[in-house]
Amino acid sequence: MSARTSYGRLLALLAAADGDVPAAEDALADAFERALMLWPRDGVPANPDGWILVVARNRQRDRWKSSAFRSSVVLEPDRHSGVHLDVVDPDAIEDHRLALMLVCAHPAINPAVHTPLMLNTVLGFTVEQIGRALAIPTPTLAARLVRAKRRIKQARIPFRIPDATVLVDRMPAVAEAVYGTFAIDWHSSGTQRRYCLQSEALYLAETLADLAPVGHPEIVAEAHGLAALICLSNARQPARHNSDGGLVPLAEQDVTRWDGGLIDRGREHLRQAHSCGVLGRFQLEAAIESVHIARRDSGTTEWSVLRDLHQTLNAVAPTLGSAVALAAVTAEVDGAAAGLELLDEVADRTRHFQPAWSTRAHLLRQAGRPAEASDALVKAISLTTDPAQRVYLERRLGELG
């Protein structure tokens, strides 16, 4: 993994030293800037993560030694000594990513900022990406994140995995942040970045599943459900784009390209979630993915089963996404008119929701209403930020004439 895509892990390592997330971000930014200046001339080092970590930690050490820092902060040997800076191999250091996420979910921090703070600091999403996904104006969200990061330092929140009682309260927020990697439009960051985020999300989800307190089946079930969802969704990744980088819809994907190892891993997580006897959002979404995956073996898609699952999901965790997905699946069972009727029910809430417009265009085309389908596609394209998806929708628009 390259140093750039290890951002969340490196930031967690740096911030664990004194709990100062903004200072760690500054040190890391300085290290990346130096890398951009020196690597083109000197070549990329054999251990880029270690190089970045050393430079960033030297920046931290310089700051701790500065007169301004010494005059404004009480020095504590355990927190500010240089001993913890001597290890330069990130793989040899305890991974603090999950600890940082649990710090972000601390009750001293505004609960409304828990998920965006984790997405920003650990998973590396920009304020603009998070704000767009959560429908929060960028300046508003930026101000909230600044206050939250300052609060981490002021409250002296320790970077450690808390005991089971605290985990129960904080794990749902952490799970939401991991799940958020699917909700944010990060396609424009490039294929390499995409694969890295998927690996990061899967690592965190499976770590949550391992940590989930046994005496709380609802937490255990959702942790395994989330891990199952990420595994099964990632399993289809190799078939989502053709050799030219073009988007391939699910119905047209070559199932032989799906990752069998991830499918088996996801199904095992789903079995463990089911064994808890508790139904939750992530478990339902994983079950939906599992039905789609079953087409690899049976050759057909059980649309009626999918409709039942989507109806349950929309009742358990109603969101714009679940409402639009239910409309699309209902159309497969009861016809395009039935799907459009469901879309009309949420039209007031989906005026700026791209999946609603692309789904509407698809159903209008099926219903034999090409002019309306064309208008819906134009709207969908205007809301699309993923280049591959835009090309696909523009091609569909061209087919409508």
Q: Residue 261 in contact with residue 205, Cβ under 8 Å?
A: no
- Please report, as a single letter, which amino acid is at residue 56: A
For 301, which DSSP code? -
Q: Residue 222 in contact with residue 282, Cβ under 8 Å?
A: yes
- Please report, as a single letter, which amino acid is at residue 304: S
The number of C-alpha atoms within 13 Å of 159 and in the hemisphere containing its C-beta is: 20
DSSP H helical segments within 185-318, as ranges?
Answer: 191-211, 217-235, 260-274, 281-293, 295-298, 303-316
Distance separating alpha carbons of residues 296 and 138, to the nearest angstrom? 42
Tokens linked to 348: 């007031």
Q: Residue 386 in contact with residue 354, Cβ under 8 Å?
A: no
Q: Residue 298 in contact with residue 240, Cβ under 8 Å?
A: no
Distance separating alpha carbons of residues 123 and 125, to the nearest angstrom? 6
- Please report, as a single letter, which amino acid is at residue 223: A
Q: Residue 301 in contact with residue 256, Cβ under 8 Å?
A: no
Phi, psi of 312 (to 5 degrees): -65, -45
In the CATH scheme, what is the code of domain 326-401?
1.25.40
* pTM value surpassing 0.85: no
Tokens linked to 320: 């714009």
Domain boundaries, the chain: 326-401
Between helices 217-235 and 164-183, what is the axis angle to 10°? 30
Distance separating alpha carbons of residues 8 and 118, to the nearest angstrom? 9
Distance separating alpha carbons of residues 332 and 398, to the nearest angstrom? 24
Q: Residue 249 in contact with residue 221, Cβ under 8 Å?
A: no
Query: Residue-wise pLDDT tens for the chain (401 aa)?
Result: 444 457 777 887 787 766 788 888 888 888 888 888 888 888 888 878 888 888 888 887 877 665 444 444 443 434 444 434 444 444 444 556 777 788 888 888 888 888 888 888 877 788 888 887 777 889 999 999 999 888 888 877 776 666 667 778 888 888 888 888 766 654 444 444 455 667 778 888 888 888 888 888 999 999 999 999 999 998 998 898 888 888 899 989 999 999 999 999 999 999 999 999 999 999 999 999 999 999 999 999 999 999 999 999 999 999 889 999 999 999 999 999 999 999 999 999 988 899 999 999 999 999 999 999 999 999 999 998 888 889 999 999 998 87
